[in-house]
Amino acid sequence: MAMASCEGCRICIYWWLINIIVMLCSFVVGSQCAAFNDFFYPSWALDHVMSQGDLLQLKLDHASGAGFASKSTYLFGKANVQIKLVPGDSAGTVTAFYMSSQGDQHDEFDYEFLGNTSGEPYVVQTNVYSKGVGNREQRIYLWFDPTANFHSYSFLWNRQQAVFFVDDVPIRVFSNNEKRGVPYPQTRPMGIFSSIWNADDWATQGGRVKTDWSHAPFLSTYKNFNIDACKYTTGSSCSSWWDQPAYASLNEKQSMQLKWVHEKYMIYDYCKDSVRFPTPPAECA
């Protein structure tokens, strides 16, 4: 009986250690487990960046929003995070997850989650900057409640295309159209960022619905960051799995998923905005 009891203790201790490791390893770089502070830092409003076990939260109140950033920059690869967005009446708030380089001619990939009044579907605005030129907004409704559970949001970036994924479903593709004279982000390494802030001058119904501060603080919650990308240093070749032909374009299933999202959930596409662009941008052809 004593031996069986001791064996049971060893099993309990083993599973306890496993659970502790899983809890601590909420950030993954490549195949390595890492702590948040090893790869990211609070970039502003440190007292509004909060850690709770394996979760990270950004807080917005009347005093401030908050943000964090990666310590390194990356050139090609995949970045993913699971986010639970601000619940309830989040009108006027914006939670952003994005990649960006520095300088006047910066490159950037954006997710901007636009808050809403309770019961309305969340709007996701995406944008792409290349050599400092943006104005490439697309907006979709999400097909689930992003405040009820965690969902994955990803960038896949290589020399042929940049793909935005929601739960592994592609919602946007920005292809390399340099042959048409469209600059493509492929020379400037980008950092990884996230933030929450008040944008009630435009975020909800074009700014008609303002932030109700009686619902503050507004919290966006994060877990399971995964970065499988080229950590850029001078002279880096930044070639790896993302250069394989399988990642040069969407496969048949992904193409069908993208079509489904655009047909059922897209509510704005800059390519179809003839008021802003009487001549469609070259990449829209």
Name residue 98's beta-bridge partners: 110, 193
In the set 108, 120, 252, 263, the catalytic residue is 108
Position 183 in a domain? yes
pLDDT value at position 28? 60
Position 182 in a domain? yes
The CATH number for 169's domain is 2.60.120.200
Position 35 in a domain? no
99, 193 contact by CB (below 8 A):
yes
pLDDT value at position 47? 95
pLDDT value at position 22? 41
What whole-number distance in Å separates Cα of residue 78 and Cα of residue 156? Answer: 4
What's the domain range around 181? 40-272
Position 209 in a domain? yes
SS3 content of the chain, % helix, strand, coil (to 5): 25, 40, 40
Structure tokens of 235? 């002279």
Contacts 24+ apart (CB under 8 A), 51-56: 53/23, 54/22, 54/23, 54/24, 54/25, 54/26, 54/223, 55/26, 55/221, 55/222, 55/223, 56/26, 56/221, 56/222, 56/223
Active-site residue, 112 included:
yes
Q: What's the domain count of the chain?
A: 1
pLDDT in tens, 74-123: 999 999 999 999 999 998 899 999 999 998 899 999 999 998 887 788 89
pLDDT value at position 2? 45
Active-site residue, 252 included:
no
pLDDT value at position 34? 53
pLDDT in tens, 197-216: 998 887 778 878 888 899 99
Position 7 in a domain? no
List of the chain residues with pLDDT < 70:
1-35
| pTM to 2 decimal places | 0.87
